[in-house]
């Protein structure tokens, strides 16, 4: 059986991450990957809404090579991303109630997927939201976010 291997390259600053994606006739069904990824996002949403940032972070690849890009720049590594969430969302009022919507999962082969969606927070004094682009990679332990680019909607 012939395999086609391509590499998805993600760059941020001076570092690039190349993710190998193998394409062949025995790929898991795209629906299975989509369901597994949607389950990770559902678990993250539930964890956030019970104010459990540690459980929320279980959806991210626990690696120094994890990348998060947002309005404050690029954060590298699981621990710094965790610290960023704890700093920006220190309490229940700041966390609010999270909802993900308009999720699109696009498999990139046998072991990676590209995800687009919207995020919305409902808090007492405001309701911020925006969009996100995620790259998921499948590991033996399951699907994890290896790159997150989240941005907030422009304020009028």
Question: Taking the domains of the chain in order of start, what are their residue ranges?
Answer: 26-152
Q: Where are the beta strands (DSSP E) in the chain?
A: 4-12, 15-23, 67-70, 73-76, 97-107, 112-122, 129-139, 142-152
- pLDDT tens-digit profile of 106-148? 999 889 999 999 999 999 999 999 999 999 999 999 999 999 9
Question: What is the helix, strand, coil percentage profile of the chain, to 5?
Answer: 25, 45, 30
pTM for the full model?
0.80
The alpha carbon torsion through 133, 138, 141, 145 (nearest 10 deg) reads: -10
Whole-angstrom Cα distance, residue 149 to residue 31? 24
- pLDDT tens-digit profile of 49-108? 999 999 999 999 999 999 999 988 999 999 999 999 999 999 999 999 999 999 999 999
> What is the token pair recorded at 19?
């993710």
CA 107 to chain centre: 14
Whole-angstrom Cα distance, residue 98 to residue 95? 8
Q: May I ask the CATH architecture of the domain 26-152?
A: Roll (3.10)
Distances (CA, A) of 15 to 9, 29, 76, 153: 10, 32, 10, 27
| Beta carbons within 8 Å of 75's beta carbon, 6+ residues apart | 67, 68, 69, 81, 84
């Amino acid at each position: 059986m012939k395999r086609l291997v391509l590499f998805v390259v993600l760059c941020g600053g001076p570092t690039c991450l190349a993710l190998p994606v193998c394409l062949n006739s025995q790929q898991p069904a795209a629906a299975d990957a989509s369901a597994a990824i949607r389950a990770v996002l559902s678990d993250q949403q539930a964890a956030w809404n019970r104010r459990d940032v540690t459980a929320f972070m279980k959806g991210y690849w626990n690696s120094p090579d994890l990348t998060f890009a947002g309005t404050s720049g690029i954060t590298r590594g699981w621990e710094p991303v965790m610290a960023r969430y704890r700093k920006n969302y220190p309490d229940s009022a700041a966390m609010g109630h999270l909802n993900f919507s308009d999720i699109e999962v696009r498999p990139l082969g046998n072991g990676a997927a590209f995800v687009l969606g919207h995020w919305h927070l409902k808090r007492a004094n405001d309701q911020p939201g925006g969009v996100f682009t995620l790259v998921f990679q499948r590991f033996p332990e399951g699907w994890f976010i290896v790159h997150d680019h989240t941005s907030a909607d422009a304020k009028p």
